[in-house]
Amino acid sequence: MKRYYVYMLRCRKGALYTGYTGNLKRRLREHEAGRASRFTRARLPVRLVYAEKQNSVKTAMRRERLIKAMTRKKKLALIAKNPQAQRSK
């Protein structure tokens, strides 16, 4: 079964970006290279601060929408309370 991920990046000046992918390492490389999204390309560098596994693309998309609808304060709380999330150095 293929795994999908919902992830958050911290961009320059503290901006947060939320997305989903089937290959987290590849997607992070694309963001770092400025090829993944217009939002992150304009706010490099980026750092992975949160990721969670999902069982299907449908659940990943649904979770991404829920996170994007959160306030910044709630997003920061989600990042802070999930020490098991995959994080970059």
What is d(CA 69, CA 56) in angstroms, rounded to the nearest whole number? 20
Q: Whole-prediction pTM value?
A: 0.89
The closest of 27, 78, 23 to 53, measured between CA atoms, is 23
Q: What is the pLDDT of residues 38-80, one digit of tens each?
A: 999 999 999 999 999 999 999 999 999 999 999 999 999 999 9
| H or E segment and range at residue 10 | strand 4-10
Which structural domains are found in the chain, ordered by start? Answer: 4-81 (3.40.1440.10)
Q: What is the pLDDT of residues 28-41, one digit of tens each?
A: 999 999 999 999 99
